[in-house]
Structure 1
Amino acid sequence: MATATGHSPVIGAATTTCRRGVPGLRGVGWLGYTSAAIIALAAVIAVFGPLLAPYPPNQSDLAHAFGGAGPAHPLGYDSQGRDILSRLLVGARSSMLGAFVVIALAMVAGTVLAVTAAWRGGWVDSVTSSGSDLVFAFPGLLLAVLAAAVFGPSQWSAALSLAVAYTPYVARIVRGAAIRERSLPYIEALEVQGRGAWAICVRHIVPNIAPMLVAQGTILFGWAALDLAAISFLGLGVQPPQADWGVMVSEGQTGVLQGFPAESLAAGTALVLVIVAFNILGERLNDRQAKELS
Protein backbone atom coordinates (compact mmCIF):
# COMPACT_ATOMS: atom_id res chain seq x y z
CA MET A 1 0.00 0.00 0.00
CA ALA A 2 1.42 3.35 -1.02
CA THR A 3 1.63 6.32 1.31
CA ALA A 4 0.39 9.85 0.66
CA THR A 5 3.67 10.67 -1.03
CA GLY A 6 3.27 7.86 -3.55
CA HIS A 7 6.08 5.69 -2.20
CA SER A 8 5.74 2.32 -0.55
CA PRO A 9 6.38 2.01 3.21
CA VAL A 10 9.40 -0.22 2.48
CA ILE A 11 11.03 2.41 0.30
CA GLY A 12 10.25 5.15 2.79
CA ALA A 13 11.80 3.15 5.61
CA ALA A 14 14.86 2.29 3.55
CA THR A 15 15.62 5.91 2.81
CA THR A 16 15.17 7.15 6.35
CA THR A 17 16.77 4.49 8.52
CA CYS A 18 20.15 4.16 6.79
CA ARG A 19 21.59 7.56 7.68
CA ARG A 20 24.30 6.77 10.21
CA GLY A 21 26.36 9.94 10.12
CA VAL A 22 29.55 10.61 12.08
CA PRO A 23 29.22 9.69 15.78
CA GLY A 24 31.06 11.44 18.58
CA LEU A 25 33.64 9.98 20.93
CA ARG A 26 31.26 7.84 22.93
CA GLY A 27 32.53 4.37 23.67
CA VAL A 28 36.23 5.01 23.01
CA GLY A 29 37.23 4.48 26.65
CA TRP A 30 39.46 6.55 28.88
CA LEU A 31 42.46 5.94 26.65
CA GLY A 32 40.54 7.27 23.66
CA TYR A 33 39.44 10.35 25.60
CA THR A 34 43.01 10.96 26.75
CA SER A 35 44.24 10.67 23.16
CA ALA A 36 41.53 13.09 22.01
CA ALA A 37 42.63 15.57 24.69
CA ILE A 38 46.26 15.35 23.53
CA ILE A 39 45.15 15.89 19.93
CA ALA A 40 43.02 18.87 20.93
CA LEU A 41 45.95 20.38 22.84
CA ALA A 42 48.26 19.85 19.84
CA ALA A 43 45.69 21.50 17.57
CA VAL A 44 45.43 24.53 19.87
CA ILE A 45 49.21 24.85 19.97
CA ALA A 46 49.40 24.53 16.18
CA VAL A 47 46.91 27.40 15.79
CA PHE A 48 48.13 29.70 18.56
CA GLY A 49 51.77 28.58 18.87
CA PRO A 50 53.29 31.78 17.45
CA LEU A 51 51.26 33.79 19.95
CA LEU A 52 52.16 31.52 22.87
CA ALA A 53 55.89 31.44 22.11
CA PRO A 54 57.77 33.63 24.63
CA TYR A 55 60.48 34.51 22.09
CA PRO A 56 60.83 34.74 18.30
CA PRO A 57 61.68 31.20 17.12
CA ASN A 58 64.74 32.33 15.13
CA GLN A 59 66.13 34.79 17.67
CA SER A 60 69.73 33.62 18.11
CA ASP A 61 72.17 34.27 20.94
CA LEU A 62 75.35 32.28 20.36
CA ALA A 63 76.62 33.24 23.80
CA HIS A 64 73.96 30.92 25.23
CA ALA A 65 74.38 28.03 22.78
CA PHE A 66 73.36 24.79 24.49
CA GLY A 67 72.41 26.80 27.53
CA GLY A 68 70.61 24.92 30.24
CA ALA A 69 67.00 25.29 31.29
CA GLY A 70 65.94 28.12 33.56
CA PRO A 71 62.86 30.13 34.57
CA ALA A 72 63.03 32.26 31.41
CA HIS A 73 63.87 29.31 29.15
CA PRO A 74 62.20 26.15 30.54
CA LEU A 75 63.69 23.86 27.87
CA GLY A 76 66.99 25.66 27.44
CA TYR A 77 68.75 26.78 24.25
CA ASP A 78 69.67 24.95 21.06
CA SER A 79 73.03 24.97 19.23
CA GLN A 80 72.29 28.44 17.82
CA GLY A 81 71.24 29.92 21.12
CA ARG A 82 67.54 29.87 20.23
CA ASP A 83 64.82 29.20 22.77
CA ILE A 84 63.76 25.56 22.36
CA LEU A 85 60.29 26.04 23.85
CA SER A 86 59.51 28.84 21.38
CA ARG A 87 60.64 26.74 18.43
CA LEU A 88 58.65 23.76 19.73
CA LEU A 89 55.45 25.82 19.98
CA VAL A 90 55.88 27.47 16.58
CA GLY A 91 56.99 24.22 14.93
CA ALA A 92 53.72 22.53 15.83
CA ARG A 93 51.94 24.49 13.09
CA SER A 94 54.01 23.19 10.17
CA SER A 95 54.05 19.66 11.58
CA MET A 96 50.27 19.50 12.05
CA LEU A 97 49.31 21.54 8.99
CA GLY A 98 51.44 19.43 6.67
CA ALA A 99 49.85 16.21 7.93
CA PHE A 100 46.37 17.73 7.61
CA VAL A 101 47.03 18.66 3.97
CA VAL A 102 48.25 15.13 3.22
CA ILE A 103 45.22 13.46 4.77
CA ALA A 104 42.69 15.92 3.32
CA LEU A 105 43.99 15.43 -0.23
CA ALA A 106 44.34 11.67 0.11
CA MET A 107 40.90 11.19 1.68
CA VAL A 108 39.11 13.29 -0.94
CA ALA A 109 40.91 11.72 -3.90
CA GLY A 110 40.71 8.18 -2.51
CA THR A 111 37.02 8.48 -1.65
CA VAL A 112 36.09 9.86 -5.08
CA LEU A 113 37.98 7.08 -6.85
CA ALA A 114 36.65 4.33 -4.59
CA VAL A 115 32.99 5.38 -4.63
CA THR A 116 33.09 5.85 -8.40
CA ALA A 117 34.61 2.40 -8.85
CA ALA A 118 32.13 0.79 -6.46
CA TRP A 119 29.15 2.41 -8.16
CA ARG A 120 30.17 1.83 -11.76
CA GLY A 121 31.83 -1.56 -11.35
CA GLY A 122 33.09 -3.40 -14.42
CA TRP A 123 36.04 -1.94 -16.28
CA VAL A 124 35.94 1.28 -14.24
CA ASP A 125 36.48 -0.70 -11.05
CA SER A 126 39.18 -2.80 -12.71
CA VAL A 127 41.12 0.21 -14.04
CA THR A 128 40.83 2.08 -10.74
CA SER A 129 42.03 -0.93 -8.74
CA SER A 130 44.94 -1.58 -11.11
CA GLY A 131 45.99 2.08 -11.06
CA SER A 132 45.82 2.16 -7.27
CA ASP A 133 47.97 -0.98 -7.04
CA LEU A 134 50.54 0.60 -9.35
CA VAL A 135 50.83 3.79 -7.29
CA PHE A 136 50.71 1.81 -4.05
CA ALA A 137 53.92 0.05 -5.11
CA PHE A 138 55.90 3.30 -4.74
CA PRO A 139 56.85 4.17 -1.12
CA GLY A 140 55.89 7.63 0.04
CA LEU A 141 59.47 8.54 0.95
CA LEU A 142 60.62 7.60 -2.55
CA LEU A 143 57.97 9.84 -4.08
CA ALA A 144 59.09 12.64 -1.76
CA VAL A 145 62.68 12.25 -2.92
CA LEU A 146 61.56 12.40 -6.54
CA ALA A 147 59.39 15.45 -5.83
CA ALA A 148 62.32 17.18 -4.13
CA ALA A 149 64.53 16.43 -7.14
CA VAL A 150 61.97 17.91 -9.55
CA PHE A 151 60.48 20.80 -7.57
CA GLY A 152 63.12 21.34 -4.92
CA PRO A 153 62.87 20.46 -1.23
CA SER A 154 59.85 22.05 0.46
CA GLN A 155 57.06 21.16 2.83
CA TRP A 156 54.39 21.35 0.15
CA SER A 157 56.13 19.17 -2.42
CA ALA A 158 56.62 16.59 0.35
CA ALA A 159 52.96 16.86 1.38
CA LEU A 160 51.76 16.47 -2.20
CA SER A 161 53.94 13.42 -2.80
CA LEU A 162 52.71 11.77 0.40
CA ALA A 163 49.10 12.53 -0.53
CA VAL A 164 49.65 10.71 -3.82
CA ALA A 165 51.20 7.77 -1.96
CA TYR A 166 48.35 7.61 0.60
CA THR A 167 45.52 7.86 -1.94
CA PRO A 168 45.64 4.18 -3.09
CA TYR A 169 45.53 3.01 0.53
CA VAL A 170 42.45 5.13 1.18
CA ALA A 171 40.85 3.97 -2.08
CA ARG A 172 41.33 0.29 -1.16
CA ILE A 173 39.62 0.66 2.20
CA VAL A 174 36.82 2.91 1.00
CA ARG A 175 36.12 0.73 -2.03
CA GLY A 176 35.25 -2.28 0.12
CA ALA A 177 32.95 -0.23 2.35
CA ALA A 178 31.33 1.48 -0.65
CA ILE A 179 30.67 -1.87 -2.36
CA ARG A 180 28.97 -3.18 0.78
CA GLU A 181 26.89 -0.02 1.04
CA ARG A 182 26.06 -0.18 -2.67
CA SER A 183 24.56 -3.65 -2.21
CA LEU A 184 22.14 -2.66 0.56
CA PRO A 185 18.39 -2.63 -0.22
CA TYR A 186 17.95 1.08 0.42
CA ILE A 187 20.17 1.91 -2.57
CA GLU A 188 17.87 -0.01 -4.88
CA ALA A 189 14.92 1.74 -3.25
CA LEU A 190 16.47 5.12 -3.97
CA GLU A 191 17.05 4.15 -7.60
CA VAL A 192 13.40 3.06 -7.89
CA GLN A 193 12.45 6.53 -6.66
CA GLY A 194 14.42 8.01 -9.55
CA ARG A 195 17.36 9.37 -7.57
CA GLY A 196 20.48 9.94 -9.64
CA ALA A 197 23.82 8.25 -9.03
CA TRP A 198 25.49 11.50 -7.96
CA ALA A 199 22.79 12.29 -5.40
CA ILE A 200 22.82 8.76 -3.96
CA CYS A 201 26.60 8.68 -3.63
CA VAL A 202 26.96 12.16 -2.14
CA ARG A 203 23.88 12.20 0.09
CA HIS A 204 23.76 8.58 1.22
CA ILE A 205 26.78 6.36 0.50
CA VAL A 206 29.50 8.80 1.56
CA PRO A 207 27.70 9.96 4.75
CA ASN A 208 27.02 6.33 5.70
CA ILE A 209 30.67 5.33 5.38
CA ALA A 210 31.82 8.54 7.08
CA PRO A 211 32.52 6.83 10.45
CA MET A 212 34.99 4.52 8.70
CA LEU A 213 36.54 7.50 6.88
CA VAL A 214 37.01 9.37 10.15
CA ALA A 215 38.61 6.36 11.85
CA GLN A 216 41.01 5.67 8.99
CA GLY A 217 41.82 9.34 8.52
CA THR A 218 42.68 9.64 12.21
CA ILE A 219 45.08 6.70 12.00
CA LEU A 220 46.66 7.97 8.79
CA PHE A 221 47.14 11.44 10.28
CA GLY A 222 49.65 10.05 12.75
CA TRP A 223 51.56 8.24 10.02
CA ALA A 224 51.53 11.35 7.82
CA ALA A 225 53.00 13.42 10.66
CA LEU A 226 55.72 10.80 11.11
CA ASP A 227 56.52 10.63 7.39
CA LEU A 228 56.68 14.41 7.06
CA ALA A 229 58.98 14.61 10.08
CA ALA A 230 61.22 11.96 8.51
CA ILE A 231 61.28 13.87 5.23
CA SER A 232 62.19 17.10 7.03
CA PHE A 233 64.82 15.19 9.01
CA LEU A 234 66.39 14.17 5.68
CA GLY A 235 66.39 17.79 4.51
CA LEU A 236 63.71 17.31 1.84
CA GLY A 237 60.76 18.94 3.60
CA VAL A 238 60.63 22.02 5.81
CA GLN A 239 63.90 23.90 5.45
CA PRO A 240 65.93 25.42 8.29
CA PRO A 241 65.81 27.84 10.00
CA GLN A 242 62.00 27.43 9.94
CA ALA A 243 60.77 25.85 13.16
CA ASP A 244 59.47 22.33 12.62
CA TRP A 245 59.58 19.24 14.80
CA GLY A 246 61.34 17.15 12.15
CA VAL A 247 63.90 19.91 11.57
CA MET A 248 64.45 20.23 15.32
CA VAL A 249 65.16 16.51 15.66
CA SER A 250 67.65 16.78 12.80
CA GLU A 251 69.38 19.91 14.08
CA GLY A 252 69.46 18.49 17.59
CA GLN A 253 71.80 15.68 16.51
CA THR A 254 74.77 17.94 17.17
CA GLY A 255 73.60 18.51 20.71
CA VAL A 256 73.01 14.80 21.29
CA LEU A 257 76.60 14.04 20.31
CA GLN A 258 77.86 16.75 22.66
CA GLY A 259 75.67 15.72 25.57
CA PHE A 260 72.87 18.30 25.08
CA PRO A 261 69.86 16.30 23.84
CA ALA A 262 67.18 18.81 24.90
CA GLU A 263 66.19 19.95 21.38
CA SER A 264 65.90 16.49 19.82
CA LEU A 265 64.28 15.10 22.97
CA ALA A 266 61.63 17.85 23.12
CA ALA A 267 60.67 17.63 19.44
CA GLY A 268 60.84 13.83 19.42
CA THR A 269 58.63 13.57 22.49
CA ALA A 270 56.06 15.91 20.96
CA LEU A 271 56.01 13.84 17.77
CA VAL A 272 55.64 10.56 19.64
CA LEU A 273 52.79 11.87 21.79
CA VAL A 274 50.85 13.19 18.80
CA ILE A 275 51.44 10.12 16.62
CA VAL A 276 50.51 7.68 19.39
CA ALA A 277 47.42 9.74 20.28
CA PHE A 278 46.16 9.73 16.71
CA ASN A 279 46.79 6.01 16.32
CA ILE A 280 45.09 5.07 19.59
CA LEU A 281 42.05 7.25 18.90
CA GLY A 282 41.79 5.96 15.34
CA GLU A 283 41.98 2.34 16.47
CA ARG A 284 39.36 2.92 19.16
CA LEU A 285 37.02 4.54 16.62
CA ASN A 286 37.67 1.66 14.23
CA ASP A 287 36.94 -0.95 16.90
CA ARG A 288 33.75 0.79 17.94
CA GLN A 289 32.53 0.93 14.35
CA ALA A 290 33.26 -2.78 13.87
CA LYS A 291 31.18 -3.59 16.96
CA GLU A 292 28.30 -1.44 15.77
CA LEU A 293 28.27 -3.14 12.37
CA SER A 294 28.54 -6.69 13.78
Structure 2
Amino acid sequence: MTSPALTHWVLTIVCEDQPGIVHAISGAILAANGNITEAHQYTSHDTGRFFMRLQVESAVPREFFENQLLPVTQRYSMDWNLDVVGRKVKTLVLVSKSGHCLNDLLFRQRAGQLPIEIPAVMGNHSDLGEMAQFYSVPFEEHKISSDADKKAFEDRLRTFIAEEKIELVVLARYMQILSEEFCKEFEGRIINIHHSFLPGFKGANPYAQAHSRGVKLIGATAHFVTADLDEGPIIEQNVVRVEHSDSKNRLVSIGQDVESKTLTQAVRWFAESRVLLDGARTVIFN
Protein backbone atom coordinates (compact mmCIF):
# COMPACT_ATOMS: atom_id res chain seq x y z
CA MET A 1 0.00 0.00 0.00
CA THR A 2 1.51 3.31 -1.09
CA SER A 3 1.62 6.36 1.19
CA PRO A 4 -0.34 9.50 0.21
CA ALA A 5 1.69 11.91 -1.89
CA LEU A 6 3.21 14.87 -0.09
CA THR A 7 2.23 18.34 -1.18
CA HIS A 8 4.55 21.28 -0.53
CA TRP A 9 2.33 24.19 0.53
CA VAL A 10 3.07 27.87 1.02
CA LEU A 11 0.98 29.69 3.63
CA THR A 12 1.00 33.48 4.04
CA ILE A 13 -0.62 35.35 6.90
CA VAL A 14 -1.22 39.02 7.70
CA CYS A 15 -3.06 40.19 10.82
CA GLU A 16 -2.89 42.47 13.82
CA ASP A 17 0.05 41.49 16.00
CA GLN A 18 -0.99 39.78 19.24
CA PRO A 19 0.23 36.98 21.52
CA GLY A 20 -0.25 33.35 20.59
CA ILE A 21 -0.29 33.56 16.79
CA VAL A 22 2.76 31.39 16.09
CA HIS A 23 1.66 28.79 18.64
CA ALA A 24 -1.85 28.63 17.21
CA ILE A 25 -0.72 28.33 13.61
CA SER A 26 1.88 25.71 14.49
CA GLY A 27 -0.81 23.70 16.28
CA ALA A 28 -3.11 23.84 13.26
CA ILE A 29 -0.29 22.68 10.97
CA LEU A 30 0.49 19.82 13.34
CA ALA A 31 -3.19 18.84 13.31
CA ALA A 32 -2.96 18.69 9.51
CA ASN A 33 0.04 16.35 9.79
CA GLY A 34 2.20 19.10 8.37
CA ASN A 35 5.95 19.58 8.62
CA ILE A 36 7.26 23.16 8.41
CA THR A 37 10.20 23.30 5.99
CA GLU A 38 10.68 27.10 5.81
CA ALA A 39 9.50 29.87 8.14
CA HIS A 40 9.62 33.66 8.14
CA GLN A 41 7.85 36.14 10.38
CA TYR A 42 7.93 39.87 10.99
CA THR A 43 6.11 42.41 13.15
CA SER A 44 5.82 45.96 11.85
CA HIS A 45 6.14 48.38 14.75
CA ASP A 46 4.91 51.15 12.45
CA THR A 47 1.55 49.53 11.68
CA GLY A 48 1.23 46.90 14.42
CA ARG A 49 0.75 44.19 11.79
CA PHE A 50 2.12 40.64 11.91
CA PHE A 51 3.40 38.91 8.78
CA MET A 52 4.26 35.25 8.29
CA ARG A 53 5.25 33.00 5.42
CA LEU A 54 5.53 29.24 5.92
CA GLN A 55 6.30 26.35 3.62
CA VAL A 56 4.72 23.12 4.82
CA GLU A 57 4.85 19.53 3.64
CA SER A 58 1.69 17.53 4.22
CA ALA A 59 -0.09 14.57 2.63
CA VAL A 60 -3.62 15.72 3.55
CA PRO A 61 -6.05 17.18 0.98
CA ARG A 62 -6.36 20.98 0.69
CA GLU A 63 -9.87 20.99 2.21
CA PHE A 64 -8.66 19.14 5.33
CA PHE A 65 -5.68 21.49 5.70
CA GLU A 66 -7.88 24.57 5.31
CA ASN A 67 -10.37 23.23 7.86
CA GLN A 68 -7.57 22.92 10.42
CA LEU A 69 -6.45 26.49 9.71
CA LEU A 70 -9.90 28.08 9.66
CA PRO A 71 -10.54 28.37 13.42
CA VAL A 72 -7.16 30.06 13.90
CA THR A 73 -7.55 32.42 10.96
CA GLN A 74 -10.99 33.45 12.20
CA ARG A 75 -9.86 33.91 15.81
CA TYR A 76 -7.09 36.31 14.79
CA SER A 77 -8.96 37.92 11.84
CA MET A 78 -6.20 36.91 9.45
CA ASP A 79 -5.80 37.69 5.77
CA TRP A 80 -4.32 34.44 4.60
CA ASN A 81 -3.59 32.41 1.49
CA LEU A 82 -2.70 28.76 0.95
CA ASP A 83 -1.02 27.79 -2.29
CA VAL A 84 1.21 25.09 -3.74
CA VAL A 85 4.94 25.81 -3.84
CA GLY A 86 6.12 26.31 -7.40
CA ARG A 87 2.66 26.68 -8.95
CA LYS A 88 2.92 28.83 -12.06
CA VAL A 89 1.20 32.19 -11.62
CA LYS A 90 -0.88 33.36 -14.60
CA THR A 91 0.84 36.56 -15.73
CA LEU A 92 -0.08 39.09 -18.42
CA VAL A 93 2.73 41.29 -19.77
CA LEU A 94 2.18 44.76 -21.24
CA VAL A 95 4.87 46.33 -23.44
CA SER A 96 5.64 49.21 -25.78
CA LYS A 97 8.86 49.21 -27.86
CA SER A 98 11.72 48.27 -25.49
CA GLY A 99 12.17 44.51 -25.38
CA HIS A 100 14.87 43.86 -22.76
CA CYS A 101 12.51 43.20 -19.84
CA LEU A 102 10.08 41.16 -21.94
CA ASN A 103 12.89 39.02 -23.33
CA ASP A 104 14.18 38.21 -19.85
CA LEU A 105 10.72 37.25 -18.59
CA LEU A 106 9.93 35.08 -21.61
CA PHE A 107 13.32 33.37 -21.61
CA ARG A 108 13.22 32.55 -17.91
CA GLN A 109 9.64 31.33 -18.16
CA ARG A 110 10.57 28.95 -20.99
CA ALA A 111 13.73 27.83 -19.19
CA GLY A 112 11.73 26.96 -16.06
CA GLN A 113 13.59 29.57 -14.02
CA LEU A 114 10.51 31.65 -13.22
CA PRO A 115 7.27 30.20 -11.78
CA ILE A 116 4.91 32.07 -14.09
CA GLU A 117 2.76 31.26 -17.12
CA ILE A 118 2.40 34.03 -19.70
CA PRO A 119 -0.70 33.37 -21.85
CA ALA A 120 -0.31 36.61 -23.82
CA VAL A 121 1.72 39.76 -24.35
CA MET A 122 -0.14 42.98 -25.19
CA GLY A 123 1.42 46.17 -26.51
CA ASN A 124 0.52 49.61 -27.79
CA HIS A 125 3.00 49.09 -30.65
CA SER A 126 3.71 46.09 -32.87
CA ASP A 127 7.50 46.18 -32.36
CA LEU A 128 7.71 43.23 -29.94
CA GLY A 129 5.29 40.94 -31.74
CA GLU A 130 8.11 38.92 -33.31
CA MET A 131 9.81 38.46 -29.94
CA ALA A 132 6.62 37.08 -28.41
CA GLN A 133 6.14 34.84 -31.46
CA PHE A 134 9.70 33.50 -31.06
CA TYR A 135 8.72 32.28 -27.59
CA SER A 136 5.36 30.95 -28.89
CA VAL A 137 3.35 33.46 -26.85
CA PRO A 138 0.33 35.22 -28.49
CA PHE A 139 0.72 38.96 -29.03
CA GLU A 140 -2.01 41.58 -29.26
CA GLU A 141 -1.45 45.11 -30.50
CA HIS A 142 -3.70 47.84 -29.10
CA LYS A 143 -2.79 51.27 -30.41
CA ILE A 144 -3.60 54.09 -28.01
CA SER A 145 -3.96 57.60 -29.39
CA SER A 146 -7.00 58.82 -27.47
CA ASP A 147 -8.89 58.45 -24.22
CA ALA A 148 -11.39 56.27 -26.06
CA ASP A 149 -8.56 53.94 -27.13
CA LYS A 150 -7.32 53.71 -23.55
CA LYS A 151 -10.79 52.88 -22.23
CA ALA A 152 -11.31 50.22 -24.90
CA PHE A 153 -7.94 48.66 -24.11
CA GLU A 154 -8.60 48.60 -20.37
CA ASP A 155 -11.98 46.98 -21.02
CA ARG A 156 -10.14 44.35 -23.09
CA LEU A 157 -7.70 43.86 -20.21
CA ARG A 158 -10.54 43.34 -17.75
CA THR A 159 -12.14 40.74 -20.00
CA PHE A 160 -8.86 38.91 -20.59
CA ILE A 161 -7.93 38.96 -16.90
CA ALA A 162 -11.30 37.44 -15.98
CA GLU A 163 -11.34 34.82 -18.76
CA GLU A 164 -7.75 33.69 -18.29
CA LYS A 165 -7.77 34.03 -14.48
CA ILE A 166 -4.77 36.38 -14.61
CA GLU A 167 -3.16 36.86 -11.19
CA LEU A 168 -0.43 39.36 -12.08
CA VAL A 169 -0.03 42.12 -14.65
CA VAL A 170 3.56 43.17 -15.45
CA LEU A 171 4.38 46.47 -17.11
CA ALA A 172 7.60 45.54 -18.90
CA ARG A 173 8.56 49.07 -19.97
CA TYR A 174 4.95 49.79 -20.96
CA MET A 175 4.96 53.50 -21.72
CA GLN A 176 1.30 54.27 -21.14
CA ILE A 177 -0.38 55.43 -17.93
CA LEU A 178 -3.17 53.18 -16.67
CA SER A 179 -6.33 54.90 -15.46
CA GLU A 180 -6.89 55.58 -11.78
CA GLU A 181 -9.92 53.28 -11.83
CA PHE A 182 -7.95 50.38 -13.32
CA CYS A 183 -5.07 50.85 -10.86
CA LYS A 184 -7.45 50.77 -7.90
CA GLU A 185 -9.33 47.77 -9.26
CA PHE A 186 -6.18 45.67 -9.52
CA GLU A 187 -4.14 47.19 -6.71
CA GLY A 188 -1.47 44.81 -5.44
CA ARG A 189 -1.57 42.83 -8.70
CA ILE A 190 0.30 45.14 -11.11
CA ILE A 191 4.10 45.48 -11.09
CA ASN A 192 5.99 48.23 -12.93
CA ILE A 193 9.68 48.85 -13.61
CA HIS A 194 11.46 52.15 -14.19
CA HIS A 195 14.91 53.64 -13.95
CA SER A 196 15.93 55.07 -10.58
CA PHE A 197 16.78 58.55 -11.86
CA LEU A 198 13.34 59.78 -10.81
CA PRO A 199 12.56 62.45 -9.78
CA GLY A 200 15.86 63.90 -11.05
CA PHE A 201 15.66 63.16 -14.79
CA LYS A 202 12.03 63.11 -15.86
CA GLY A 203 10.63 62.78 -19.34
CA ALA A 204 12.32 61.60 -22.50
CA ASN A 205 15.92 60.36 -22.79
CA PRO A 206 16.70 60.03 -19.08
CA TYR A 207 20.01 58.27 -19.82
CA ALA A 208 21.10 61.15 -22.05
CA GLN A 209 20.25 63.56 -19.23
CA ALA A 210 22.16 61.39 -16.77
CA HIS A 211 25.18 61.18 -19.06
CA SER A 212 25.30 64.95 -19.51
CA ARG A 213 25.23 65.39 -15.72
CA GLY A 214 27.96 62.82 -15.12
CA VAL A 215 26.02 60.47 -12.85
CA LYS A 216 28.02 57.81 -11.02
CA LEU A 217 25.20 55.44 -10.11
CA ILE A 218 22.30 54.14 -12.20
CA GLY A 219 19.65 51.71 -11.12
CA ALA A 220 16.08 50.47 -11.36
CA THR A 221 13.02 50.20 -9.15
CA ALA A 222 10.23 47.62 -9.37
CA HIS A 223 7.06 48.55 -7.52
CA PHE A 224 3.35 47.93 -7.31
CA VAL A 225 1.27 50.25 -9.45
CA THR A 226 -1.11 52.64 -7.70
CA ALA A 227 -3.13 55.63 -8.85
CA ASP A 228 -0.16 57.81 -7.77
CA LEU A 229 2.26 57.59 -10.68
CA ASP A 230 5.52 55.76 -9.82
CA GLU A 231 4.81 56.02 -6.08
CA GLY A 232 3.53 52.51 -5.32
CA PRO A 233 5.06 50.19 -2.70
CA ILE A 234 8.61 49.24 -3.69
CA ILE A 235 9.37 45.55 -4.20
CA GLU A 236 12.98 45.54 -5.42
CA GLN A 237 15.75 48.00 -6.29
CA ASN A 238 19.23 47.59 -7.73
CA VAL A 239 22.04 50.00 -8.46
CA VAL A 240 25.23 49.82 -10.55
CA ARG A 241 28.26 52.14 -10.44
CA VAL A 242 29.27 53.69 -13.76
CA GLU A 243 32.34 55.62 -14.88
CA HIS A 244 32.87 59.01 -16.46
CA SER A 245 34.21 57.23 -19.53
CA ASP A 246 30.96 55.33 -20.15
CA SER A 247 29.14 56.59 -23.23
CA LYS A 248 25.42 57.31 -23.35
CA ASN A 249 24.87 54.04 -25.22
CA ARG A 250 26.86 52.18 -22.57
CA LEU A 251 24.68 53.70 -19.85
CA VAL A 252 21.56 52.59 -21.73
CA SER A 253 22.94 49.03 -21.96
CA ILE A 254 23.81 48.92 -18.26
CA GLY A 255 20.45 50.41 -17.39
CA GLN A 256 18.55 47.84 -19.43
CA ASP A 257 20.42 44.99 -17.73
CA VAL A 258 19.61 46.28 -14.26
CA GLU A 259 15.97 46.95 -15.21
CA SER A 260 15.56 43.38 -16.47
CA LYS A 261 17.20 41.89 -13.39
CA THR A 262 15.15 44.01 -11.00
CA LEU A 263 11.79 43.35 -12.67
CA THR A 264 12.40 39.60 -12.94
CA GLN A 265 13.32 39.41 -9.26
CA ALA A 266 10.17 41.29 -8.26
CA VAL A 267 8.02 38.98 -10.39
CA ARG A 268 9.73 35.91 -8.93
CA TRP A 269 9.13 37.04 -5.34
CA PHE A 270 5.49 37.80 -6.12
CA ALA A 271 4.98 34.41 -7.78
CA GLU A 272 6.57 32.66 -4.80
CA SER A 273 4.25 34.50 -2.34
CA ARG A 274 7.20 36.32 -0.78
CA VAL A 275 5.75 39.84 -1.09
CA LEU A 276 3.26 41.07 1.50
CA LEU A 277 1.83 44.59 1.64
CA ASP A 278 2.21 46.73 4.75
CA GLY A 279 0.41 49.91 3.77
CA ALA A 280 2.73 51.93 1.52
CA ARG A 281 5.60 49.48 2.15
CA THR A 282 6.28 45.85 1.35
CA VAL A 283 7.52 42.99 3.49
CA ILE A 284 9.77 40.69 1.44
CA PHE A 285 10.53 37.22 2.78
CA ASN A 286 13.46 36.01 0.66
Task: Determine which structure has the larger strand proportion and give its number.
Answer: 2
- The structure showing larger relative contact order (alpha-carbon pairs under 8 Å, at least 6 residues apart) is 1
Largest Rg, 1 or 2: 1
Task: Give your verdict on TM over 0.5.
Answer: no
TM-score normalised to structure 2 length: 0.28
TM-score normalised to structure 1 length: 0.27
